[in-house]
Amino acid sequence: MTSNLRRFLPAIVASSTLALMAALSPVQAADQGPIKIGVVSEEAAIVGKAISQGAQLAADDINSKGGINGRKIQIITYDDHSSAADAVRAYQRAVQEDHVDAVVTTFISEVALAIEPWAARLHMPTITPAAASNLISEQVHDKYPQFKYMFEGWLPAPILAQAVCDSSHDLLVEKLHMKTAALMREDADWTKPLNDGEAACLPKAGLNVVDQVAFNPDTTDFTPIFNSIEAKHPDVILTGIAHVGVQPTVQWQAQQVPIPMAGISAQATNPTFWKDTNGATNGVITQTGTVEGLALTSLTNKVADEFVKKYGRFPAFTGFTAYDCVRMLAAAMQRAHSTKPDKIVAEMEKTNMEGTLGQLAFYGRNDTYTHALKYGPQYITGTFMQWQNGKQVCVWPENKCPNKMVFPSFVKLPVEKAAAK
């Protein structure tokens, strides 16, 4: 070997190595592995467990059809133990150590709000399947370049308030001739805007608000609260509760509070709530995603059947919304032909697809609730159901739920009150 060749050989080898590395770029190498979606949820809670289960079910369905541009989805689950601090640590691990491509996370607003700044810092497409605080989407609207990575896979609290008002008009005012309501909510990030929204729209729906009560989620004795509400003689109690549910429901029945309970009781959406309350929930009305047997779209019953087959029970509504969250992320990645965050976000914003609970589309950059799901008959409204003798029976929207409301004997409706006078 000549001295000139010896001199240039290292440069030739280095050049060849760089060329080979360029040919096998990191993006191409990554394409050989799975697309990772992290799921940070509350595994000890039925509503939280349904998030990871629904996400896995969606991944299984997508993988059975070839995955995303030929790549399979891998769900990596993290338990946040209903703690914002644990959720942030899990989120950081998912992004920085496990290198996930997107995250589905939490039904708790306080947890979602703790994660949202990290989604911004780490440029990670993130969607919550249930957290309802309006601050989540308002931050996206107010600081779009920073917070655009966050999406809401359910309705924000002010829009949930509109759903309560719409259903209350149809069910409580038109059918039961109610005129007054008391608002009873746990003190949480999502319930203040819910309460304010209801206070604004209920009078337009035909219900005057005669009392507004906020209580600590650690409350165990609801007797003083019910006594205070009864003194105002409302026709209905409209709840805004998620962290609590069993205790106020059991005490409502045990104390024979003569006022029906409706509104939003997240725990009452669980199929196990009848057993959890020993039937005390009989007659309670709450918003949910759907009920067993109700086909809101062509996907509703299909996914419900798959859920029962895989997990042995009908899902909490977060099972449906988490399923849709993974499908929306997958469709965005499929259209983008990429897992780059900004490209995923751009395609997520174009979402317009059938979901399990209605048509899925997000409010835009110029809307107040940027990146929250759109509300309305052509999109998502949610379903209001009533517990009747151990079953969840849908009662609204009326075009899909023509069932009659039935209340326990201790509940006194306006017509019965008038007759008793």
Same domain membership, residue 340 and residue 321? yes
pLDDT tens digits along 316-356? 899 999 999 999 999 999 999 999 999 999 999 999 999 99
Helix axes 157-168, 191-205, angle to 10 degrees: 30
pLDDT tens digits along 383-403? 999 999 999 999 999 989 989
Could you tell me if residue 367 is inside a domain? no
Q: Which residues pair with 128 in a beta bridge?
A: 152
Residue 131: domain span:
32-155+296-360
Same domain membership, residue 399 and residue 253? yes
Same domain membership, residue 168 and residue 142? no
Helices (H) and strands (E) in the chain, counts: 16, 14
Same domain membership, residue 300 and residue 245? no
Say yes or no to pLDDT of 5 above 50.
no
pLDDT on residue 242: 86
Q: Measured between alpha carbons, how far is 128 from 417 in angstroms, rounded to an integer? A: 43
Say yes or no to pLDDT of 272 above 90.
no
pLDDT tens digits along 286-316? 999 999 999 999 999 999 999 999 999 898 8
Average pLDDT over residues 185-199: 93
In Å, how far from its chain's centre is CA 105? 9
Average pLDDT over residues 25-52: 79
SS3 state at 259: coil
Total domains present in the chain: 2
Q: Are 129 and 154 in contact (CB under 8 A)?
A: yes
pLDDT on residue 418: 53
Tokens found for residue 223: 């007797």
Say yes or no to pLDDT of 419 above 80.
no
Average pLDDT over residues 358-384: 95
* 20-50 per-residue burial string, b: 16 or more CB within 10 A, e: under 16: eeeeeeeeeeeeeebbbbbbbbbbebbbbbb
Could you tell me if residue 18 is inside a domain? no
Q: Are 282 and 380 in contact (CB under 8 A)?
A: no
One DSSP character per residue, 143-198 reads THHHHTTEEESS--HHHHHHHHHHHHIIIIITTT---EEEEEEESSTTHHHHHHHH
pLDDT on residue 244: 87
pLDDT on residue 19: 43
